[in-house]
Chain A
Amino acid sequence: MSTSITAPAGRPAPSRGSSTSQTEAPRPITGKSISVGRRVRNTTATVLVGLAVLVAAVPLAFVLVYVVSKGGGVFNLAFLTESIPISSRRAGPGMGPAVAGTLLITGAATLMAVPLGILAAVYLNEYGQANRLAAAIRFLSDVMAGVPSIVMGLFIYTVWVLRFGMSGFAGALALACLMLPIVIRSTEGVLRLVPRDLREASTALGARTSRTILTVVIPAALPGITSGCLLAVARAAGETAPLLFTIGTVRALNPNLFEGTNTALSAQIFVNAQLPFVAAQNRAWGAALTLILLVLLLTIIARIISARFTVR
């Protein structure tokens, strides 16, 4: 067996590879060897993909530029802290109560939806898996994700506001209902990506399922869970319709979530943009810019948290 591979010294081994390379010229590796049709198709596809990116990015850029140019004029620190002028005609700051309201209401909604959503996702992916209850929950959360936000607002209006009146908390309930399916589905997706290897490693060391989830699965999935939750928060922060039924649109600051009508940036945009006064419209633009910056800030925080918890 070994004799057949060893060639006599000094002479190249006669093999099939060498004989073909002597008779055939090496195939060219310059661009000309690729057919015209293929090159045309390649260029077309590249151009189309580039155009698609452009078409997708242009509206986004326009919205940003427009909001900044319109809202930038009134936006300053006083705008964020001063109360809303009693007379809508009067120019000047601010949107303080709406900023506070958005932070409070969205914060309360987050406190309700995120823990519940993460627990539901843990149940779905780690315990329920393919059983009927899990399938039903998955189906319902998909349906819930598709419910228009105004319907969610009406729902909270009938079950809560009619009995207890408008309050920031009622708004938070409506937003939490909107956030819940987003949190559930994004968290479940991330949990599913945690490799089985890690669960097995933990189990093989004598960890119970609950322990494995708390100490291995959730930490491994944390960056993804965080960004999923932040996406839900950003979505909720911009919602207007469900708030109109549940918190009202007052001008005064109301730090009490559980009593009395409240206000939020999105609600103020809605109200002020409809007013015939330039000053009010400008404040609406300023509120829009504030909202965008708020979401941007949340996204940056989420990125930082994710980066800190990701072990590479």
Chain B
Amino acid sequence: MSDRELLEKISAGDKKSFGAFYDKFQSQVYRTAFGYFHNNSDAEEIVQDVFVEVFRSAGKFKNNSNLSTWLYRITVNKSLDRIRFQKSAKRFSFFSAIFFDEDNGLKDNIPDSTDHGIEADKKESEKIIFRAMDKLAENQRTAFVLTQVEDLSGNEAAEIMGTTAKALESLIQRAKANLRKELGEMYNTRRK
């Protein structure tokens, strides 16, 4: 059964077809989300949000569009929504901490590691990368995730973002430059 046929059955409420669709595209959605958040918990929440959206919007999918592009767009939008929500929630937790109980603050999103050795080193590196990527502008972050993490071509990524290939290339270069700069500053801080 083709992807479009699966989507037609999903729009009719067929949960078995939905399961097959999920099996096929879950890892793509998860990888993209992980590229934004660098932790399993948030990536899994995004997977849930995306596939709930797919089930509810399957009937609205236009047959002349690319299914993969549609799915990536939903994933990017859900990821950016969550990032904005987390940033607002952090600001609000600071505000509420002034007037209310100090324990009202939100849990830091950075994964905590109690492992040792190579696993600990990897998790420490991921914490650093997450902090650096968190400072990128949304469009730079998206351009980086789609092209560097997902290995999409410039044209595919530009179509998902609704921009031109040239503009996308500029975003990627700026994202890399800003990441390098941020990582360089983190290196200097660690050495002190």
Q: Do A and B come from one complex?
A: no
> Which A positions have Cβ atoms within 8 angstroms of B?
none
